Structure 1
Amino acid sequence: MSQYFATVARGLESLAAQELEQLGARSVEPGFCGAAFEGDRTLLYRVNLWARLPFRILMKLHQFPCHDANDLYSGIQTLDWSNYVTPDLTLAVNATGKNEHLNHTHFTALQVKKAIVDQQQDRLGDRSNVELQDPDVRITVHIDRDLCTVSLDSSGNSLHRRGYRPAVGSAPLKESLAAALIQLAGWQPEQMFYDPLCGSGTLPLEASLKALNIAPGLFRERFGFETWLDFDLDLLEHLIREAEDSQRETLPAPIWGSDRDEGVIEQAIANATSCGVLDHVWFSQIDLNDVVAPTDSGVLFCNPPYGERLGRDSDLGAFYKQLGDVLKQRFKGWTAFVLSGNKELSQFIGLKSSQRIAVYNGSLPCQLMKYELY
């Protein structure tokens, strides 16, 4: 049984812990910007393939007391690195956290790299090259006061980059945050889903993947663990086949997205094609002013511009008022969820929210506002 840590956006730790438990993780403990858990190699592969919320899944190798650079160097060298990286594999080190003597992450990363390649040179007469962009093995170290935790990054590129979205609008929502918002809202696939400000389609596409039970990791070129020395190709291929076999063939209820910008609707259609849901989700160019409810009930989601993302716009107040009017007048019987990073603007909606959930869009504090429309 190995120890793992899933990194997630701030504020989503408990939600990520629930997802990990549903995937079979044991001893799940939410922490700061992530959740620790235990499991075997099968679980590690499954979480990378299926988890919708995390950025990275780290496998813990070692933890040791670490006050300064000398402690760091000697602590790293207590590990036998030939178990994890051979000289023919490239490596990269990512450092986070700090203490009084190790307060610069770049220096910390360099010290770790030096300890690893010095050990290789001493024992094997050869060493790994550093490759920052796409290394074979990613090593992470986290300094927390006088403790250093060393892990291997099993994911490679961040898991939020699903791989289906080459086309994005000017202020894209991370796929993992879109999935989290859908989870926070409690949306069920039996309810119609509509985003009238869909941009390049991230919210409707994440809803489609959830409703069709499509594993988000299926679109990735590769995972970090595929270049590990103990990589089990048969196991990964078995889990991929299992995931493909569990997909649903039809949506229980319609999923729609619209936007006034024809260009971003073309991007949304391209992205839907990339993740194989074009036949399921419906995208159309419609100005907000012309939007009407397609059914008597459903869940409306939107992430309107809030100044921080698309530059200051003196008409944003009027736009939010228009959004509120559309919700009030045309979506009776629906539940609406609006993500906003600007409290002043959200007041222009002119509706009383029944719930406000604090979330972060990157480093920007936002609120997911729920409106019951009667």
Structure 2
Amino acid sequence: MGQYFATVARGLEAIAAQELAELGAGSVQPGFCGVAFAGDRALLYRVNLWARLPFRILMTVAEFPCRDAEDLYEGVQGVDWGEMVPPDRTLAVTATGKTQDLNHTHFTALQVKNAIVDQQRQRQGERSSVELDNPDVRVNLHLHQDHATLSLDSSGSSLHRRGYRPAVGLAPLKESLAAALIRLTGWTPEQAFFDPLCGSGTLPLEASLMALNRAPGLHRDRMGFETWPDFDPALWQRLRQEAEAMQLTTLATPIGGCDRDRDIIIQARSNALRSGVADQVQFQQQDLSQVEAPAATGILMCNPPYGERLGKGSDLAAFYALLGDVLKQRFKGWTAFVLSGNKQLAQAIGLKSSQRWPVYNGTLPCQLMKYDLY
């Protein structure tokens, strides 16, 4: 059984823990910006393939007390790297967190790399080359309160990069955050889903991938663990084939979005094509003032501009008031969810929210507000 840690956006730890438990993870424990869990190799592969909320899945290698550079070097040297990082594999080290003495992540990462390659030279007479962008093995060190955790990064590039979205608008919502927001709403694929301010389409696309039971990891070029010495290609192939066999081909209800910018709708359609749902998800160029509900009931969700992000200098208060009017007049019977990073603008919607969730969009504190529309 391996010990793992899924890194997630701040504020999403509890909902990510729920997702991991559903995927079969054991000993699930939410922490700060992540969730610890346990499982076998098949679970590690399955979580990388299926989890929609995490950024990375780290496999814990060792933990030790660590106050300064000497503690760090000795702690890293105390691990047997022989089978995890043979000299013929390229290596990269990332460091996060700090102690009073180790407060420069570049120096910390260098110290970890030195300890590993020194051990390789002593025991095998040769050492790994460093490859920062696309290493065979990425080692992660996290420092917190004079304690070090060493891990291997099983994901490679961040899992939020599904592989379907080279085309993004000016203010893209990360796919993992979009999936988390949809999950918070309690939406199910039997309900229509609509985003009247869809940008490059992330919210409707994530909803459609959930509804069609498409594993988000299927679009990715490579997982980090595929270049580990103990990689099991037969197991990975089997899990991918199972995921492909579980996909549905048609949506039960409409999923779509619109945006007033023609070029952005072209991007959204291009992203839908890449994710294999172009024939399922409807994207239309339409101004917010012209929007009509695509079904009698459903979930409306949007991430309007909030000054920090887009539209500085434009009259955003009037735009939010228009959004409130459209929700009231044209979406009776629906439930609406609006993500905003600006409380004053949110008040301009002119509706009373029935529930609010604090979430972070990157480093920006936001609120997801729920409106029951009668």
Q: Same-fold call, TM > 0.5?
A: yes
Q: Does 1:42 align with 2:23?
A: no
Farther-moved stretch of structure 1 (123-132 vs 263-272) = 123-132
3-state SS of the aligned residue for 1:101? Answer: coil
Partner amino acid for 2:196? P
**Distance in 2, Cα, partners of 1:179 & 1:59:** 23
Deviations 1:108-167 (A, max 9, x none): 111000101111112222111111111111100111112111000000000000001110
3-state SS of the aligned residue for 1:333? Answer: coil
Matches within 5 A, 1:41-120: 41-120=41-120
Per the alignment, residue 164 of structure 1 pairs with 164
Using structure 2 for the length normalisation, give the TM-score.
Answer: 0.99
**Distance in 1, Cα, partners of 2:254 & 2:50:** 23
Partner amino acid for 1:113? K
**Distance in 1, Cα, partners of 2:17 & 2:293:** 35
Per the alignment, residue 6 of structure 2 pairs with 6
**Distance in 1, Cα, partners of 2:217 & 2:49:** 4
Q: Does 1:338 align with 2:338?
A: yes
**Distance in 2, Cα, partners of 1:155 & 1:281:** 28
Per the alignment, residue 193 of structure 1 pairs with 193
| Cα offset, 1:311, TM superposition | 5.0
Using structure 1 for the length normalisation, give the TM-score.
Answer: 0.99
Per the alignment, residue 289 of structure 2 pairs with 289
Deviations 1:184-212 (A, max 9, x none): 01011101001010000000000000000
Per the alignment, residue 270 of structure 2 pairs with 270
Matches within 5 A, 1:144-293: 144-293=144-293
Per the alignment, residue 130 of structure 1 pairs with 130
Provide the aligned length of Structure 1 versus Structure 2: 374
Deviations 1:19-63 (A, max 9, x none): 000000000000000000000000000000000000000000011
Structure 2 residue ranges without an equivalent (≥5): none
Deviations 1:192-240 (A, max 9, x none): 0010100000000000000000000000000000000000000000000
**Distance in 1, Cα, partners of 2:140 & 2:63:** 12
- Report percent identity of matched pairs: 71
Partner amino acid for 2:288? L
Partner amino acid for 1:352? K
**Distance in 1, Cα, partners of 2:316 & 2:144:** 42
| Cα offset, 1:313, TM superposition | 2.5
3-state SS of the aligned residue for 2:253? Answer: coil
**Distance in 1, Cα, partners of 2:79 & 2:301:** 49
| Cα offset, 1:102, TM superposition | 1.2
RMSD (Å) for aligned C-alpha atoms: 0.8
| Cα offset, 1:85, TM superposition | 1.1
| Cα offset, 1:316, TM superposition | 0.8
Deviations 1:286-322 (A, max 9, x none): 1101001122111101000001112512311111111
**Distance in 2, Cα, partners of 1:294 & 1:220:** 32
Partner amino acid for 2:175? E
CA contact 2:272–2:281 (8 Å) conserved in 1: yes
**Distance in 1, Cα, partners of 2:230 & 2:312:** 51
**Distance in 2, Cα, partners of 1:33 & 1:55:** 10
3-state SS of the aligned residue for 2:82? Answer: helix
**Distance in 1, Cα, partners of 2:67 & 2:317:** 52
